[in-house]
Structure 1
Amino acid sequence: MPTPERLESFIAAVEGGAHAKAIEDYYTEDATMRENQAEPRRGRSTLVAQETAVLDRTESVISTCVRPVLVNGDHVAIHWIFEFTFKGGGKMRMEEIAWQRWEGDRIAQEQFFYDPAQRKPG
Structure 2
Amino acid sequence: MPSRARLDEFIAVVESGDHAGAIERYYTEDASMQENAAPPRVGRDGLVARERGVLERMSHVYSKAVSSVLEGDQVAIHWIFELTDKSGKVRRVDEVALQEWRGDRIFRERFFYDPTEAK
Q: For this structure pair, what is the TM-score category when the shorter chain's length is used for normalisation?
A: over 0.9
Counterparts of 1:39-50 in structure 2, within 5 Å, are 39-50=39-50
Between Structure 1 and Structure 2, how many residues are aligned?
Answer: 119
Q: Which residue of 2 aligns with 1:89?
A: 88
1:99 Cα shift? Answer: 0.2
* 2:12 corresponds to 1:12: yes
Gaps of 5+ in 2: none
What is the alpha-carbon root mean square deviation over aligned residues? 0.6
Instruction: Give SS of 1:117's match.
Output: coil
Work out whether residues 31 and 42 of structure 2, in 8 Å CA contact, stay in contact via their aligned partners in 1: yes
- DSSP 3-state at the match of 1:93: strand
State yes or no: 1:2 paired with 2:2: yes
Sequence identity (%): 57
Take 2:35 and 2:64, find their aligned partners in 1: how far apart are those partners?
Answer: 19
Amino acid of the residue matched to residue 106 of structure 2?
A: I
Counterpart residue identity of residue 20, structure 1: A
Would the aligned equivalents of 2:95 and 2:113 in 1 still touch at CA under 8 Å? yes
The TM-score with structure 1 as length reference comes to: 0.96
Query: How many Å apart are 1:100 and its aligned residue?
Result: 0.1
Aligned twin of 1:51: 51
1:25-104 to structure 2, matched below 5 A, reads 25-67=25-67, 69-104=68-103
Segments of structure 1 that go 5 or more residues without pairing to the other structure are: none
Q: Give SS of 1:89's match.
A: coil
Q: Is the 8 A contact 2:4 2:70 kept in 1?
A: no
Q: Work out the CA distance in 2 between the residues paired with 1:110 and 1:82.
A: 17
| Residue 62 (structure 1) shift | 0.4
Which ranges of 4 or more aligned residues in structure 1 deviate by more than 3 Å?
Answer: none
Structure 2 residue matching 1:65: 3-state secondary structure: strand
1:116, 1:3 → 2: CA distance?
31
Taking the aligned partners of 2:90 and 2:5, their CA distance within structure 1 comes to 33
The one-letter code of the counterpart of 2:53 is A
Distance, in Å, in 1 between the alignment partners of 2:105 and 2:89 is 33
* TM-score, with length taken from structure 2: 0.98
